[in-house]
Amino acid sequence: MAGSALGHAEVPPWIEPMLAKPDRGRLPSGPEWTYEYKLDGYRACMQVAPDGTTVLTSRNGIIFTNEFPSLSGVLAPALEGRSAVLDGEIVVYNDAGQIDFGALQERRGRYRRHAKLTRGGTPFEDVDVRFLAFDLLRLGDESLLDAPYDERRAQLERLPMPDPYRVAVVPAFTFDALAADRITPEKLLDRVTRAGHEGLIAKLRTSTYVPGQRPDSWMKHPLTQTQEVIVCGWRPGQNRLAGTLGGLLLGAHHPDTGALQYIGDVGTGFSESSRRDLQARLEPLERPTHPFAETPPRDDVRRARWVEPVLVGEVVYRQFTRGAGRLRHTAWRGLREDKAPQGVIAPTSQLAMSTPQPAESSTPTVRSPGNKVVVQAGARRLTLSNLDKLMYPATGFTKSAVIRYYTLIAPALLPHVAGRPITTIRFPDGVEGQRFFREERATRRTRLATHRPPAQQWVTRQWRRDRVSAVRRTGRAGLGCEPRRAGTSCTTVDGRRQWATADA
């Protein structure tokens, strides 16, 4: 799609964007780092000529100036006759004041229909967009690619923003500035979460700008897990979705071999209009066979209609499984016209970034057969299994991450629970699955009762007397449960009580 200023001789050339590398769940920390919001929009390079003529180029080199006519010339008053190249993102805000990628995608769909009907002859007017700049790559005749981040950032912040509704600079927070306000990077992340942003980007303050590369000097820490995918096929809908698109079959390139591999499907997150639009885009691309290097399992691709792997989309997911390499619990976010299929790389398993670490007093971890880990905790030898089981789907925390958390806080937690009866809520299938309440009672062997203060012993005896009176009066045991004898415990499962000895 050609912009109106494509042939303008004085417009600076496009600079391929520098990319951020995933931090694998560990947000960088230290005075050498600066933190910026991770934005949820379209990456764009803004190229401005001395006369204000503006070209907008996407991440993969596609000029899409005509799609955002309100941004044309927006920075001309600030540049005072100089040319410039800025790196940033184009975003749309919802009614709550949050950046809304879905609204941006819907806007693009309306633009495509408008361009098809008018053949580009009429300017496109729609919901307002905003260009959020986070780097300055060129100013006048000077290239800033070799300048350190701090210098580029300082020059960017000195540029006045003529219209803050259409263009602004992304806020940045140095580690030292946060520390002066008694804020850690983790606390900043909490604020980002509450504000509805996508995450943080940590940037090394001494780093230069490396076009087209993904170095360790830019690290991204997303709050939600998103993945770029290649649309490799689709599955017709059934029942109420009969006659429309039911789901998509997804692929990505293997990070080591580069081969196109099947990574799962997605069947949720579509609106009725997006199902129709996607089906219309995919039907002309159909091919007789799958495009993958290896044939996917037959059960996974029943009723599949294969297409040429040329469209890139984005999904939200909770987990990428080991072994088979499949995205789980996916939801569709939309097509990414700004990204090329050859740049879509399959994710790696989260287990590698969250393997539980033993306490300082423990012996080294030992791998055992069956994908288990054996750790030594004091005098006890524990076998940990199913470490990649997803326990907190909203954040992506696995069982191994939860184990590591409790290992780290054990020195502070254990003194408070030692010698006390404990009621435990168990979530075998994660916090969104079925829950079980388990009450552990004292045994003579552990002599927990001897640790209770006299007041607590009186409250316990009084509670038992009131409990017996209530049962005699109503004939019902109520919601709670009282152990029938010392050394037993009670588990409540879906309102039904189950008894077992504590030693079992």
Q: Active-site positions?
A: 38
CA atoms within 13 A on the CB side of 293: 9
pLDDT tier for residue 479 given thresholds of 50, 70 and 90: very low
Q: CA-to-CA distance for 278 and 299, rounded, in angstroms?
A: 24
Q: Which range, of 185-199, 333-347, 479-493, averages the lowest pLDDT?
A: 479-493
Judge contact between 465 and 457, C-beta under 8 A: no
Tokens of 454: 């006299």
Q: If you count them, how many residues does the chain have?
A: 504
Q: Can you spell out the DSSP letters for 379-420? A: TEEEEE--TT-EEETTTTEEHHHHHHHHHHHHHHHHHHHTTS
Q: In terms of pLDDT, which residue wins out, 491 or 284?
A: 284
- Collapse the DSSP code of 240 into the 3-class scheme (helix H, G, I; strand E, B; otherwise coil) and give the result: helix
Helix axis angle for 272-282 and 101-118, nearest 10°, is 50
Instruction: Provide the pLDDT for residue 48.
Output: 97
pLDDT value at residue 273: 87
DSSP notation for 457-483: HHHHHHHHHHHHHHHHHHS---SS---
Per-residue pLDDT tens over the stretch 405-452: 787 788 788 888 787 877 778 787 777 677 777 655 544 444 444 444
Measure the CA–CA gap between 17 and 35, rounded to whole angstroms: 18
What's this model's pTM, rounded to 2 decimal places?
A: 0.56
Task: State the pLDDT confidence band at 369, using cuts at 50, 70 and 90.
Answer: very low
Concatenate the DSSP letters of all residues of 129-178 into one string. Answer: -EEEEEEEEEETTEE-TTS-HHHHHHHHHHS--S-TTTEEEPPEEEHHHH
Contacts of 136 by beta carbon, 8 Å cutoff, 6+ apart: 84, 85, 86, 87, 144, 152, 153, 155, 156, 159
pLDDT-wise least confident of 18-32, 85-99, 186-200, 257-271:
186-200
> Which CATH class for the 227-338 domain?
mainly beta
Q: What is the CATH T-level fold of the domain 21-222, as seen in this structure?
A: D-amino Acid Aminotransferase; Chain A, domain 1 (3.30.470)
**Cβ proximity of 333 and 270 under 8 Å:** no
**Coil/strand/helix, residue 456:** helix
To the nearest whole percent, how much of the chain has pLDDT over 90?
Answer: 44
SS3 490: strand
The first and second tokens of residue 50, run together, are: 């001395």
Pairing of strands 380-384, 260-266: unpaired
Q: Which of 154-158, 336-340, 351-355, 360-364 has the lowest mean pLDDT?
A: 351-355
Find, among 226, 219, 195, the residue nearest to 25 by Cα: 219
Query: In this predicted model, what pLDDT tens digit does every residue of 310-328 receive, in sequence order?
Result: 999 999 887 777 667 888 8
Alpha carbon of 148 to those of 135, 154, 209, 321: distances in Å? Answer: 11, 10, 8, 39
Q: What SS3 string covers 273-335?
A: HHHHHHHHHHHHHECCCCCCCCCCCHHHHCCCEEEEEEEEEEEECCEECCCCCCEECCEEEEE
* Mean pLDDT, all residues of the chain: 80
pLDDT value of residue 462:
52
AA identity, residue 365: T
Instruction: Quote the CA–CA distance of 80 and 500 in Å, as a whole number.
Output: 80
For residue 494, what pLDDT band results from cuts at 50, 70 and 90? low
- Cβ–Cβ < 8 Å for 489, 500: yes
Give the per-residue pLDDT at 376.
60
* Radius of gyration for the chain, computed over Cα atoms and rounded to the nearest angstrom: 29
Largest Cα separation within the chain, whole Å, is: 94
Give domain limits for the chain. Answer: 21-222, 227-338, 349-416, 419-504
Least confident interval from 69-73, 78-82, 189-193, 352-356 = 352-356
- pLDDT score at 279: 93
